[in-house]
């Protein structure tokens, strides 16, 4: 840590800024576990983690691919639809993102973040 690193002033590990090599290795390991544990109850957690990492590192096509896989397991999860919407939004596919955010908001109307994402998508259109 540099002396004037104000973003991480307490010296803790910042998962949003890991070494790219570590990120690639982590993703490779997670994807391998996903393949080896096919149809396991761990798939949902693995997919959520993979999507989260891809979104954090601006790999939106990959995040979208795994979000579609996740939705095969949990089609009634607002969080899953929201993740897919985020990937689509960053890919500037705003109409499709709006559909995902709307679905997320209908599945979990108490989650304000989903409704806000709908509004931001409408604004982008």
φ, ψ dihedrals at 108, nearest 5°:
-140, 75
pLDDT tens column, 105-123: 999 999 999 999 999 999 9
Instruction: Look at residue 102 and tell me whether its pLDDT is greater than 90.
Output: yes
Helix (H, G, I), strand (E, B) or coil at 94: helix
pLDDT digits (tens, 9 = 90+) for 72-91: 989 999 999 999 999 999 99
- Quick one: which of 69, 90, 95 has its CA closest to 80? 69
Q: Are 33 and 46 in contact (CB under 8 A)?
A: yes
């Amino acid at each position: 840590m540099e002396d004037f690193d104000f973003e991480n002033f307490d010296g803790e590990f910042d998962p949003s800024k890991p070494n790219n090599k570590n990120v690639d290795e982590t993703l490779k390991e997670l994807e391998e576990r996903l393949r080896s544990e096919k149809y396991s109850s761990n798939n949902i957690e693995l997919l959520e983690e993979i999507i989260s990492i891809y979104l954090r590192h601006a790999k939106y096509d990959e995040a979208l691919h795994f979000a579609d896989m996740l939705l095969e397991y949990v089609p009634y999860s607002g969080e899953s639809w929201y993740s897919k919407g985020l990937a689509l939004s960053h890919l500037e596919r705003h109409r499709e993102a709006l559909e995902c955010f709307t679905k997320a908001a209908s599945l979990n109307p108490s989650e304000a973040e989903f409704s806000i994402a709908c509004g931001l998508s409408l604004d982008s259109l």
